[in-house]
Amino acid sequence: MATIQSVANEPEQHPDVALVERVKTGDISAYDELVRKYERQIFRIAQHITQNREDAEDVMQDAFLKAYEKLDQFQGNSKFYTWLVRIAVNESLMRLRKRRTGKMVSIDEDIETDEGSVPRDLADWAPDPEQNYTQAELAEILRKTIQGLPPGFRVVFVLRDVDGLSTEETAESLGLSVPAVKSRLLRARLQLRERLARYFKRKKVAREKGVKSDVH
Amino acid sequence: MTCTEFLAMLDDMIDNTVSREMRSDLQEHLRGCEHCEVTLNTTRKTIEIYRSHEIYEMPTNLRDRLHKAIMERCKKGC
């Protein structure tokens, strides 16, 4: 009874904390739950950074294994998921470096680009622009568009806007400052908007064909 | 408020983290600036479209295979 009451008196506690505690006492089924809960997100983040399916599979496995090995080091100062994402981001960057040997890959380097900082394409979009495409076409457009962004922009956008992490959690996961996350998020959103406008804006001229090959 | 000033506050506007006074200034600017209105609406749409479409779907068989591999290695102590 005392245990139940003490848990009930801590409404702030994230459900993952209890799962992590169970894993630490040797209950592997609790880790099974954590893996199941976050495997899709981790796979998605790894795909966005590495842009390679095999690498993403490896990263996902390695990230969960590393997190399991290092669970004693997890102090609970941050959310388990934020801590796990940080491991997955580091593993992803390592894979990327292996593929691009000799080329430095980092998400904290300053990205010199003005693209999107001043919106140029100011035509409004159709009310439901995605309806002009099949699901497969749309997925391809969205993939190509986000792949054209620098890795440091992509990952900030994915963590903040797709995964729903807060600015602070995103900063913590990536080892970036809060102002750096904010600056990247704005530029990522504007660059994506600018690039998607090519597909989604209201067509004023009927001869706009072949736009699909326009994105890189 | 200029368009540059509006743009600097765009994320706060989208994320709903502006004060009431600032929001009213931003809305005042929007009423007279079609360009910023389009930028705001299409940026919101950009976020929404990425949020509602999973572009790196994980097929069930892949998910099961990787999940199993992870758990087997954890059971062996990695």
The whole-number average pLDDT for the span B63-67 is 93
Q: Identify the pLDDT of residue A123.
A: 83
A26 sits in the region (left: phi over 0; alpha: psi -120 to 50; else beta) called left
Q: Who contacts B74 (Cβ-Cβ below 8 Å, separation ≥6)?
A: A28, A31, A64, A65, A68
Please give the Cα distance from A61 to A165 (Å, whole number): 22
Contact yes or no for A191/A153 (Cβ under 8 A): yes
Taking contacts as CB-CB distances below 8 angstroms, the residues of chain B near A135 are 53
**What is the distance between the alpha carbons of residues A183 and A169, in angstroms, rounded to a whole number?**
15
Chain B residues closer than 8 Å to A200 by CB: 42, 45
Say how far apart CA A163 and CA A165 lie, in whole Å. Answer: 6
Q: What is the predicted ipTM?
A: 0.91
In chain A the first and final C-alpha atoms are separated, in Å, by 61
Residue A151 has pLDDT above 90, yes or no: no
Q: Which of A23, A193, A196, A200 to mutate to test the interface with B (most CBs of B within 10 A)?
A: A193
pLDDT, one tens digit per residue, over B17-63 is 999 999 999 999 999 999 999 999 999 999 999 999 999 988 899 99
Q: Residue B32 sits in a domain of what CATH number? A: 1.10.10
B16 close contact with A: CB closer than 8 A = no
Q: Is the pLDDT of residue A200 over 50?
A: yes
Determine, for residues B51 and A65 on separate chains, whether the beta-carbon distance falls below 8 Å: no
- Pull the structure tokens for residue A38: 């976050």
Domain assignment of residue B19, given as a range: 3-75
Give the whole-angstrom CA distance, residue A76 versus residue A84: 12
A110 pLDDT more than 90: no
The candidate with the shortest Cα–Cα distance to A145, out of A211, A89, A86, is: A211
pLDDT band at A216 (very low <50, low <70, confident <90, very high): very low
Cα separation, A8 vs A155, whole angstroms: 37
H or E stretch at A3: helix A2-8
Segment A30-80, tens digit of pLDDT:
999 999 999 999 999 999 999 999 999 999 999 999 999 999 999 878 899
* Interatomic CA distance for residues B21 and A121, integer angstroms: 29
pLDDT at A146: 96
Residue A132's CB: how many other CB atoms inside 10 A? 12
Q: Is A2 exposed, middle or buried (0-12, 13-18, 19+ CB in 10 A)?
A: exposed
Categorize the per-residue pLDDT at A1 as very low, low, confident or very high, splitting at 50, 70 and 90: very low
- The angle subtended at Cα A193 by Cα A189 and Cα A197, nearest 5°, is 175
Of all residues in chain B, the one with the smallest CA distance to A63 is B70
**Domain count for chain B:** 1
Domains of chain A with bracketed CATH: 9-99 (1.10.1740.10), 129-214 (1.10.10.10)
Asked if A12 and A21 touch (Cβ cutoff 8 Å), the reply is: no
Output the six-digit token pair for A212: 């699909």
The answer to whether residue A215 scores a pLDDT higher than 60 is no
